[in-house]
Amino acid sequence: MPQSSQAALREPTVVVASDYFDSYAVVGLLAVIGVLFVAVAFGAGRLLRPVVPTPEKLLTYECGVDPVGEGWAHTQVRYYVYAFLYVIFAVDSIFLFPWATVFAAPGYGAATLVEMFIFLGFLAVGLLYAYKKGVLTWT
């Protein structure tokens, strides 16, 4: 008897999980269709288009003059600071979504609201710090 009740307890979760994966199976199927579409398009393109390569055509395009140096040239990457900022903020924001679904549920109200303002406060202070540091203005 305990075994069967255990099975009854377990059963619903199994159904939910398989439903859950079902919807992603359809997503996967669509991805396969998409890949097939691209493959067919490229394959058909191969049959349709002319292939007449010349060294000039295969040259890297630099406004008509011969390319200078390498394409993977050294540049000053100013964006990395934004990348740091983004990673910090985005990882924080990810946690918003599960929280968003329950925060107004009965019994949560005021406490989660305070939590939210603490969270927003952290983000705002971080942003303000970056601003004061001059990260957000270009020289």
Partner 1 sequence: MNDALDVALRLLIVFVVFLTFPLIVGQAEHKVMAHMQGRLGPMYAGGFHGWAQLVADGVKFAQKEDIVPAGADRRIFQLAPAVALLPYLLVLLAIPIGPGDGAVGEVVDAGVFFVLAVMGVGVLGSLMAGWASANKFSLLGGLRTAAQLLAYELPMLLTAASVAMAAGTVSLPGIVDAFEWWWLPWQIVGAIVFFIAGLAELQRPPFDMPVADSEIIFGAYTEYTGLRFALFLLAEYAGIVVLCGLTTVLFLGGWHGPWGADGLGWVWTLLKSAVLAFVVIWLRVTYPRLREDQLQKLSWTLLVPLSLAQIALTGVVKVVIS
User: Which of the residues 67 through 106 are near partner 1 (CB under 8 A)?
Assistant: 67, 70-73, 75, 77, 79, 82-83, 85-86, 89-90, 93-94, 96-97, 100-105
Q: Is 15 in the site for partner 1 (CB under 8 A)?
A: no
Closest CA to 116 of 94, 98, 100: 100
136 within 8 A of 130, measured Cβ to Cβ: yes
Strand ranges, E, within 21-130: none
Choosing from 7, 14, 44, 125, the residue that interacts with partner 1 (CB under 8 A) is 44
Residue 65 interacts with partner 1 (CB under 8 A): yes or no: no
**12 touches partner 1 by CB under 8 A:** no
Cα separation, 49 vs 47, whole angstroms:
6
Cβ nearer to partner 1, comparing 4 with 24? 24
Query: Do 120 and 95 meet the contact criterion of CB atoms below 8 Å apart?
Result: no
Nearer to partner 1 (CB atom), residue 11 or residue 67: 67
From CA 72, how far away is CA 104, in angstroms rounded?
Answer: 51
Identify which of residues 5 and 60 has a Cβ nearer to partner 1 in the complex.
60
How does DSSP classify residue 61?
P
Closer CB to partner 1, 7 or 125, in the complex: 125
